[in-house]
Chains A and B, each alone.
Chain A
Amino acid sequence: MASDSSPTRFNNTPSSPDDSAFSSPIGDTFSSPNKRGRGRSAATPAYDTPPHPNSRSRFASSEATPTPLHHAGRPTTPSSTSEGAPSSEAGDDMDEAAPTFVWGTNISVQDVKSAIQMFLKNFRDAQSQGAEIYEDGKYMKAIHRVLEIEGEWLDVDAHDVFDYNPELYGKMVRYPLEVLAIFDIVLMDMVSLINPLFEKHVQVRIFNLKGSTTMRNLNPSDIEKMVSLKGMVIRCSAIIPEIREATFRCLVCGYFSDPIVVDRGRISEPTLCLKQECQAKNSMTLVHNRCRFADKQIVRLQETPDEIPEGGTPHTVSLLMHDKLVDAGKPGDRVEVTGIYRAMSVRLGPTQRTVKSLFKTYIDCLHIKKTDKSRMVAEDAMEIDSGTQKHDEDVEFDEAKLSKLPDIYDRLTRSLAPNIWELDDVKRGLLCQLFGGNALKLPSGASFRGDINILLVGDPGTSKSQLLQYIHKLSPRGIYTSGRGSSAVGLTAYVSRDPETKETVLESGALVLSDRGICCIDEFDKMSENARSMLHEVMEQQTVSIAKAGIIATLNARTSVLACANPIGSRYNPRLSVIDNIHLPPTLLSRFDLIYLILDKADEQTDKHLARHIVSLHFEDPELAQQDVLDIATLTAYLSYARNHINPQLSDEAAEELTRGYVEMRRRGNFPGSSKKVITATPRQIESLIRISEALARIRFSEIVEKHDVTEAFRLLEVAMQQSATDHTTGTIDMDLITTGVSASERMRRENLVISTRNIIMEKLQLGGPSMRLLEILEELKKQSFAVEVHLHDLRNAVATLETEGVVVVHGDSVKRL
């Protein structure tokens, strides 16, 4: 931007001795006549930004006292082809010896100038105030820095301007062309004071406006105002070299003309040689390498999806980038742009004076910030794109208020997938997953993950997939994949050959892509064995290691896994153990913090609920049905705030409770009268418990994990475990079931069966005698007072054990004793 401001400076500040020195090279060059007339005429009466009555009254006086200023002003005043500002007016308005007003406004140049000077000199950060009052202000330091590194611009935070002088801020936003021009002048004055020999032209770049608008809200009243927009770069033009000043040479005598500065987008080619002696006609030719060019680029910005209303397509807007801003954004980048919204009239033809009634609009870009980048720095994918800043200030309060609600936990639970029925404890678990625990990295290098992994196993039609979809929608960095369609490499990372350069490149898979997010894997059971085994590393170490084709790498995959699976045979078979039902390797299972068994119980009450829900869905206004729940936007805001700002620590009380509970869990399998030891909990569970209690504290925005968080964590684990690790013969929690696949009592039962089978075989069969059919043995077994039902399947297993012992031989259905 700033380059174009130079003409203005030229106009406005006769006081500045340096003017001519630097203004001419960077003169206004811009294409269309009205486009670049930063100064006087740029106040564009055409657009009616300034209030008319004001300006009129000023005319009278200004005409009376013309100042030398005009002369400076005129040359750069594009004589208003489009704006139609008669140049006389344009020149006149600005003077009145003492207070110079910007045309059509009540802005006094002097006032603004001194205000800016004060700001640059005196502004100090809130923190540094007081302490180092004798030190230079923030921007004085910044100017020094710019001089040291020979920079070309000075970034000015608009918030600082506002804090220092709200009036100046208001003027700047409303009349950016004029105020920025003054800003540049003041800045250059200061620069030349500090270092008179500094040659570069330093420009001001404003960023971080108080309010940002959306693309579709831009309207005619925003023209010539400073605006700030978010969007996504979709196209960049090639870099356009734009001529700023041209030098001509006479073909006849070789005389070089002085550089001719672009005026109103054109260069007037001398028709005859300027050398007195020569004066040849039409002999001047352009000398390309003596001309000065500036970079220009046109970039198209499109709305990001979150700003598009229902039933609309994204809007786009053109950005004009200059000099250093060129190539600042690439297609696909999400950027925040501060600039001046401008409208330009289009001529009917290149030679015609008439213009179309249409305007082309674009944003003259002052500052561009990549928002994606900042997200990377923030290191948390849960942080949503849309206005984290706004969030910090305005919404923080709301969130804090929300978090104080006594029923926030239940309310959040209700708000999570409100149209999915019941499953409240599952939702609580998912909520914990969304909030997550604290990741811990010990100085020794050992790290403990903070992400909570959840597995949902359940009957078809229990809305598992819907839950998954919902969570996927909620977490921005989430990846949703279906087990059936995922391969190991698709989940982790793969090496491929770049078609152009023929180099091997690393392509991230779903798990790596969802680093710091949630990876939702549907149909986990249908995933290939190979793919599943890749998850081992991810779920505990949270990294993905690959060693392929000359690339050996370890990638971060700090992702929570949310998987859902159908039991084997698609319905849960209560006869089989959970492991048999889920049919997943125990090593993988133990890595899930919470395993929910969502069983479709033939419960009339739930059915009734479901029926009522669906009936109301069909016959009632859906708007009325949902109440007292947070909408998704609030939920995500709440979530991202909690994840970013709350890092709960275990209180002593909670730690004690944790220990006590854990000991009790381990002891529980040890019930009186029984000699069998059932392992109830493993150290992995205590880690899970810590994570879950931390997440619970986060939900409340509490920095301390309280005792009741731990109690709730135990409850959640128990709810999940009771379902998933209940030994169906004893009814106790049995972690063995999860870790080895066979419960202690089941093991004992099998042993008993083997013993009694052996007894029968010993009794009935002769050594080397006739064989006996399995069914007959089964009959025998049943005759004996065996409390438990024996299945042929179990018997087969028992006989197989005996066969390995070398007691019997099995041929099909017949058993022969050896």
Chain B
Amino acid sequence: MVGPMYDCLANPLGAIRLTFEKAVGSGCEPSAFDGKDWGALDVFREFLVDQGNLSQVPVLNSETLKWVQPNTLVRFRGMVQDMLGNEFYAGAYKDGSGWRTNKFGDDSQQPIDSSPDVRVWERRLLYCVPVPGLNTWAESEAASEATVTSMDLTSQQRDKRQRMDAESMDYEVCPGSNIVLEDSPSAKRMREDGHPSLSVQLSDLKPEGPCSSTMMRPEVGDSPSCLVKVYDTRESELKLNDIFEFVGVFTIESEPVPADDGDDIDLTTGFRNDLVHLQANKVPCLHCIVHRKLAVSDFLRSSPIIEQSKHVVMNTRESLLRHLTMLLGNDGVAANYMLLHLLSKIHARVDNVAVGKLSLNLTCLSKEALSVFGVQLCNALRNLLPFTDSIPLTVNYLNTACLGPKKDYQRNRLIGGTLQLAEGSHLTIDETQLETGTLNSVGIENARLLKDLVELQKVEYDFTYYKMEMAADVQLLVLSEGKSNILPADIVLPVRPSDVSRPEVVSAEALGAWRWYLATMRTLSHTIESEIQEVVEKDLVAARQADRRIGSKEFSSLLTMGRLMSLSFGETTLSLEHWEMVKELEKLRKERIN
């Protein structure tokens, strides 16, 4: 796109207005821009993608919040926690002789009443929070990644970059490995497919295209919640609990808003301002120009292994399995199951059945054993997966915790519960601490919510007058002494630890490889050949003939395991060998149970 140089970073609104004026000047009626872009997005796309300036855009977090100037370009990475509906604003108005626009800004300075011509446009308000359970490595990796890419930038941008570096340095954990990891292929890929996919996203407003993972960077540090105003998007594009990266104009509501209840019967408006509490808390606000849906893999640094060579996958698998075996006290079977569990992901939903989930219940863990394994295991999971959370299942916890999200009509906000998790989160539930006691109504409700999550991968959101089920995709690991009856997991496996070893020191490279492995393998697609399908069917029928207790549930988990097993080898079709492995594993597990 040809045009004057705009300072997109420091004065994005200027750029937006310039393009608007240009568009209007070229003879377009402003009404033509109802719900449309007039070319401003092209400018930003060119700036961010084609020129690769994205890393220069400061990330909104508690640190940067202190110095980021209003009306500059920032980015924010978070989960859509609540949707606050639409907002109408005076999008374009005539000021004197010329048209002006308010899009992407909170411009309240102009006395609009002087102009008879106002176009009312709408934008959506999303309340976004940092991804729940985001682990520190996922944040810090993002930070280091941002630093690394910024090193490639031309010298003229260097001074700006240094300021950024200073900011992000604090969060850097392993700066040494960065440079090695920055690969030219990834940069090339960015140029090759980053551009087309993004342009699709921006101009046609299609749901997230497969943007290259290097294009956008996550933010650093404990970021605050953020009110994101989204323009001209279709509703289906942004869903609750999705993780997005937004790039847009940063503003903060500065004027004091009376928040007392007396305002409710304010005669001038008569309306309580729903956003009062948000503004009172000075929630930063972002007028989103570009957004992109993020997957788990976007939280990794640029892939250490670009080619998914079979060899590399195998090696990674082996070492990860070794690591898991060690964690589980030398229990190879448990480690295998754990690996499959960590790779599980819901890939289809048919009516009430969530296909692809593999919740794991490790039994035979007493309180004492757990004090050894549990901590190790949790730490390890935290290191492997980007979003993890754990729940101590005690009577007291169940009776008091707020697990399910609930709508607070006083504030007109959705209060996120513990179970409002992003797609692909991992949740560990520790049942070993559960003792006998009485559940109150909250406790029963919470237990039911957990059970629904385990069984159906759905969470009920309480809207007081009715409840709404929202689909979730959470990997659930239950640790218990005996088989958990509250949480009926797909796989119940007694752990047989044989030796307690001290946690080994894991190298950063290995960790990185494992993370990459887990994030990448679980997203692979999978099919089945007709011959294998027949074998599988035969095996299932035979198993059922032998043991009538085997029902569709067991079939399902068996097939899920088959799928995950071949995925764990980086294969996209089920082979006989892997199917046999699954059967073997199941045999070993059955032996343990009986």
Interface size class of A (residues with CB under 8 A): 35 or more
> Which bucket holds chain B's interface residue count?
35 or more
Q: Check B113 for interface membership: any CB of A closer than 8 A.
A: yes
Contact B116 A85 (CB under 8 A): yes
A617 near B348 with CB under 8 A, answer yes
Say whether A611 contacts B536, CB under 8 Å. yes
**B97-122 interface with A by 8 A CB criterion:** 102, 106-122
**A–B complex contacts, Cβ < 8 Å, 15 sampled:** A85-B116, A219-B86, A237-B264, A298-B271, A354-B111, A362-B271, A419-B350, A419-B351, A460-B549, A607-B541, A607-B544, A608-B541, A610-B544, A610-B555, A611-B540
CB distance from B78 to the nearest CB of A (A): 16
Is B470 interfacial (CB-CB < 8 Å)? yes
Looking at the assembled complex, report how far the CB atom of B211 sits from the nearest CB atom of chain A, in whole angstroms.
Answer: 20
Given contacts A31-B267, A31-B270, A311-B240, whether A617 and B412 have CB atoms under 8 Å apart is no
| CA–CA, A240 and B269, complex, Å | 12
How many Å from the CB of B81 to the closest CB on chain A?
Answer: 10
Considering the complex, give the chain A residue whose CB is closest to the CB of B528. Answer: A619
Cα A372 to Cα B548 with chains together (Å):
48
Does B83 belong to the interface (CB within 8 Å)?
yes
Is there contact, CB below 8 Å, between B85 and A315? yes
Q: Are A312 and B412 in contact (CB under 8 A)?
A: no
Highest count of chain B CB atoms <10 Å: which of A46, A359, A459 = A46
Report the minimum CB–CB distance from A412 to chain B (whole Å): 17
Q: Are A460 and B551 touching (Cβ within 8 A)?
A: yes
A604: Cβ under 8 A from any B Cβ: yes
At the interface, yes or no: A234 with Cβ under 8 Å from chain B? yes
Nearest B residue to A262 via CB reads B267
Closest A residue to B256 by beta carbon equals A349
Residues 449 to 497 of chain A near chain B (Cβ within 8 Å): 459-463, 466, 469-470
Contact with A along B36-53 (1 / 0, CB 8 A): 000000000000000000
CA of A47 to CA of B89 in the docked complex: distance in angstroms?
11
Q: Chain A residues near B241: list those with CB within 8 A.
A: 311
Q: Does B576 contact A (CB under 8 A)?
A: no
Question: Shortest beta-carbon distance, B428 to chain A, in Å?
Answer: 26
Query: Which chain A residues lie closer than 8 Å to B412 at the CB level?
Result: 300, 316
Please, how many angstroms separate the alpha-carbon atoms of A311 and B470 in the complex? Answer: 7
Specify which of B106, B114, B239 is in contact with A311 (CB 8 Å cutoff): B239
Known contacts A84-B112, A315-B86, then 4 further A-B pairs from the complex at CB < 8 Å, ordered by chain A residue: A240-B267, A298-B272, A313-B83, A354-B110
Which stretch from B65-73, B331-339, B460-468, B487-495 is at the chain A interface? B460-468
Chain A nearest Cβ from B287, distance in angstroms: 12
| A34-46 interface bits toward B, Cβ cutoff 8 Å, 1 = contact, 0 = none | 0000000000011
State whether the Cβ of B501 lies closer than 8 Å to any Cβ in chain A. Answer: no
B7 contacts the other chain (CB 8 A): no
B268 contacts A265, CB within 8 Å?
A: yes
**Min CB–CB distance B106 → chain A (angstroms):** 7
Q: Report the minimal beta-carbon distance from B576 to chain A, rounded to whole angstroms.
A: 15
CB-CB < 8 A to B559: which residues of A? 614-615, 618-619
Q: Which residues of A contact B242 (CB under 8 A)?
A: 311
A463 in contact with B267 (CB, 8 Å): no
Query: CA–CA, A347 to B118, complex, Å?
Result: 16
Q: Give the contacting residue for A46; candidates B118, B414, B536; CB below 8 A.
A: B118
Q: Output the nearest chain A residue to B101 by Cβ-Cβ distance.
A: A357
Question: Measuring CB to CB, which residues of chain A are less than 8 angstroms from any residue of chain B?
Answer: 31-32, 45-48, 80-86, 89, 216, 218-220, 223, 232, 234-235, 237-238, 240, 242, 265, 296, 298, 300, 302, 304-305, 308-316, 318, 320, 331-332, 343-350, 353-362, 417-419, 421, 459-463, 466, 469-470, 571, 600, 602, 604, 607-608, 610-615, 617-619, 621-622, 625
Give A392 to B200 CA distance when docked, in angstroms.
43
Q: Is the CB of A615 within 8 A of B113?
A: no
**Residues of the A chain whose Cβ atoms lie less than 8 Å from the Cβ of B351:** 417-419, 470
- Whether B34 sits at the interface, judged by CB under 8 Å, is yes
| A232 with B465, Cβ < 8 A, contacts A312-B235, A608-B541, A622-B348 known | yes
Interface centre among B106, B355, B552 (most CB of A within 10 A): B552
Give CA–CA (A355, B113) in the complex, Å.
8
Q: Which of A216, A419, A469 contacts B235 (CB 8 A)?
A: A216
Q: Which residue of B lies closest to A361 (CB)?
A: B88
Determine the residue in chain A with the shortest Cβ distance to B554.
A461
The complex places the Cα of A32 from the Cα of B270 at a distance, in Å, of 9
Q: Are A84 and B113 in contact (CB under 8 A)?
A: yes
Q: Which residues of A contact B507 (CB under 8 A)?
A: none
B107 touches A357 (CB 8 A): yes
Contacts of A83 in B (CB 8 A): 113, 116
Q: Out of A296, A332, A607, which one reaches B545, CB within 8 Å?
A: A607
Is A298's CB under 8 angstroms from B270's CB? Answer: yes
User: Of all chain B residues, which has the CB nearest A223?
Assistant: B120
Which residues in A have their C-beta under 8 angstroms from that of B110? Answer: 354, 357
**Chain B residues with CB under 8 A of A617:** 348, 350, 353, 355, 556
In the complex, the answer to whether B111 meets A353 with C-beta atoms within 8 Å is yes
> Quick check: B118 and A346 within 8 Å, CB to CB?
no
Closest B residue to A485 by beta carbon equals: B444
- Interchain CA distance A611-B536 in the complex, whole Å: 8
Cβ-closest chain A residue relative to B114: A84
Residues of A within 8 A of B544 (CB): 607, 610-611
Residues of A within 8 A of B533 (CB): 615, 619
Residues of B within 8 A of A602 (CB): 545, 548
Q: Indicate if the CB atoms of B121 and A309 lie closer than 8 Å.
A: no
Across the interface, name the chain B residue whose C-beta is closest to A89.
Answer: B116
B160 at the A interface (CB under 8 A): no
A350–B31 Cα distance when bound, in Å, is 31
Q: Are the CB atoms of A31 and B268 closer together than 8 Å?
A: yes
Chain A CB within 8 A of B509 CB: no
Most chain B CB within a 10 A radius of its CB, from A83, A89, A312: A312
CB-defined contacts of A81 to chain B, threshold 8 Å: 113
Q: How far is the CB of A254 from chain B (nearest CB, A)?
A: 28
Contacts of A32 in B (CB 8 A): 268-269
CB distance from A419 to the nearest CB of B (A): 5
Instruction: Evaluate contact between B82 and A614: CB separation under 8 angstroms.
Output: no
A612–B255 alpha-carbon span in the complex (Å)? 64
Task: Let me know if B82 and A313 touch, CB within 8 A.
Answer: yes
Give the residues in chain B near A359, CB-CB below 8 Å. Answer: 87-90, 120
Contact between B102 and A48 (Cβ–Cβ < 8 Å)?
no
Which residues of B250-298 are within 8 A (CB) of A? 255, 264-265, 267-272
Q: Collect the chain A residues with CB atoms within 8 Å of residue B22's CB.
A: none
Q: Which residues from B are CB-within-8-Å of A608?
A: 537, 541
Let me know if A313 and B118 touch, CB within 8 A: no
Query: Most B CB atoms within 10 A — which of A302, A604, A611?
Result: A611
Kindly report which residue of chain A lies nearest to residue B29, judged by CB atoms: A52
CB distance from B520 to the nearest CB of A (A): 21
Contact B113 A80 (CB under 8 A): yes
B553 within 8 A of A: yes
Closest to B349 in A: A622
Q: Please determine whether B551 and A309 come into contact, CB atoms closer than 8 angstroms.
A: no
Q: How far is the CB of A694 from chain B (nearest CB, A)?
A: 30
Q: How far is the CA of A85 from the CA of B560 in the complex (A)?
A: 66
- Asked whether A237 and B265 contact (CB < 8 A) given A357-B102, A617-B348, A622-B348, the answer is yes
Question: How long is the Cα–Cα vector from A308 to B85 in the complex, in angstroms?
Answer: 12
Q: Across the two chains, which residue of chain B brings its CB closest to A313?
A: B83
A220 touches B540 (CB 8 A): no
Smallest Cβ distance from A27 to chain B, in angstroms? 15
Q: Does B352 contact A (CB under 8 A)?
A: yes
B537 touches A612 (CB 8 A): yes
Could you say which residues of chain A place their CB within 8 Å of the CB of B407? Answer: 313
Contact A619 B526 (CB under 8 A): yes
Collect the chain B residues with CB atoms within 8 Å of residue A48's CB: 31, 117-120
Cβ–Cβ < 8 Å partners of B236 in chain A? 309-311
> Chain B contacts of A220 at CB under 8 A?
34, 88, 119-122
What is the CB-to-nearest-CB distance from A476 to chain B, in angstroms, rounded to a whole number? 12
B483 at the interface (CB under 8 A from A): no
A84-B113, A84-B116 known; A618 and B551 CB under 8 Å? no
With A220-B34, A234-B409, A302-B463 known to touch, is A618 a contact of B355 (CB < 8 Å)? yes
B527 within 8 A of A: yes
